[in-house]
Amino acid sequence: MIEIKNLKTSIEDKKILNGLNLKINKGEVHAIMGPNGSGKSTLSYALSGKEGYDVSGEILFKKKNLLDLNTEERAQSGMFLAFQYPIEIPGVFTNNFLRTSLNSIRKAKNQKELNAIDFLKLLKEKAKSLQINQEMLSRPLNVGFSGGEKKRNEILQMALIEPEFVIMDETDSGLDIDALKIVSNGVNALRNSDRSFLIITHYQRLLNYIKPDFVHVLSNGKIVESGDWKLALELENDGYGKYLN
């Protein structure tokens, strides 16, 4: 699915990622854990093509070089980033945004764009399973949403778009246990042999609900240890201390 080779990033001459290598196959769920400042969010931005970062190295996504594509082209080719802090955009209505997004991606894939009625039907169905009500969807995008509502909205978008590769950036932050369950169920429902996930998290908690196939430790911009999900438990008990130096 995706292969990252010797990825280096810097912002305004400050080095953040320092030669990161990672390969994720179809259907695999990988978790990246690391202390604050290890470069976790930068990795998600570098993969999704946020401007302002100097990126070098190679990212092959479905055998295409990702670094040649801009943000929306990456999204259109099947990559999805669930934001740590979803952005509030006043005046842009959630349902209108969702439809525009979905149709942009469908168009890029040469699929037929959905008309308003079909889209609403689909939206209703997906929203229900995430316990998102209609009222929330007619509000401006993320404006006045609680932390939990924002994250559920991210998962809803994922469910609508049905991407092939999902990056989840600290999705559990700011969630209470009920919201965490809803979000995890939403993610687990989308797990299948064609879809891959990269879960970026500081705590092991989320991984109790979404069990990863592999766990990696990120420190000082590099992956310093890899293992199966038991590694996450170790980290929870021992902390990141031993990776910090």
Partner 1 sequence: MDQISSAIDKCFSSLITDTDIKNVNDRKEEFNKFKNTGIPSNKYENWKYSSLIKDINNFSDLTISKKKPNVNLKKNLFDFSHDKIFLVDGILHDADINEKGLKISQYNNFKKIGNNNPLVCLNNAFACNGFELEVKENSKVKKPLVIYNYFTSQMPSTFINFQHKLVLNSNTELVVFINNIFQNNSKFFCNNVTNVELKDGAILKNYSTHENNKSSSLFNFYNVDLGYSSNFEYFNYINNTSSCRDEININLNGENAFASLANLQILDQKYNHESKWVINHNKENTKSSQFLKTALHDSSHSVFQGKIYVNSIAQKTDGYQLSRALLLSDLAKFTAKPELEIYADDVKCSHGSSSGSIDEDSLFYLRSRGIDEKDAKKMMIQGFLAEAVQKITDKNFQQLFLNKLALSNEY
Q: With DSSP H G I counted as helix, E B as strand and the rest as coil, what are the percentages for the chain, rounded to 5?
A: 40, 30, 30
Considering only 11, 21, 65, 92, the residue that binds partner 1 (CB under 8 A) is 92
Residue 76, classed as helix, strand or coil, is: helix
Interface with partner 1, residue 117, by CB under 8 A? no
Tell how far CA 234 is from the center of its chain: 24
Residue with tokens 């969807």: 137
**Which of 62/211 has CB closer to partner 1?**
62
Considering only 7, 105, 180, 235, the residue that binds partner 1 (CB under 8 A) is 105
Binding mask 46-85 for partner 1 (x = CB under 8 A): --xxxx------------------xxx-xxx---xx-x--
Q: Least distance (Å) from partner 1 to the CB of residue 16?
A: 17
CA distances from 118 to 86, 107, 121 (A): 26, 16, 5
Residues 157-186 that bind partner 1 (CB under 8 A): 157, 161
Q: Least distance (Å) from partner 1 to the CB of residue 140?
A: 7
**Which of 106/191 has CB closer to partner 1?**
106
For 113, counting Cβ atoms within 10 Å of its Cβ (0-12 exposed, 13-18 middle, 19+ buried), the class is middle
Q: Least distance (Å) from partner 1 to the CB of residue 46?
A: 12
Interface with partner 1, residue 11, by CB under 8 A? no
Query: Which residues on neighbouring strands pair with residue 29, listed in sequence order?
Result: 197
Residues 180-239 that bind partner 1 (CB under 8 A): none
Interface with partner 1, residue 89, by CB under 8 A? yes
Interface with partner 1, residue 1, by CB under 8 A? no
**Which of 6/70 has CB closer to partner 1?**
70
The residues near 24 (Cβ < 8 Å, ≥ 6 apart) are 1, 2, 3, 30, 165, 196, 198
CA distances from 241 to 20, 43, 53, 144 (A): 20, 21, 28, 38
Q: How far is the C-alpha of 52 from the C-alpha of 44, rounded, in Å?
A: 13
- Site for partner 1, rule CB under 8 A: 48-51, 70-72, 74-76, 80-81, 83, 86-87, 89-93, 96-97, 100-101, 104-105, 108, 140-141, 157, 161
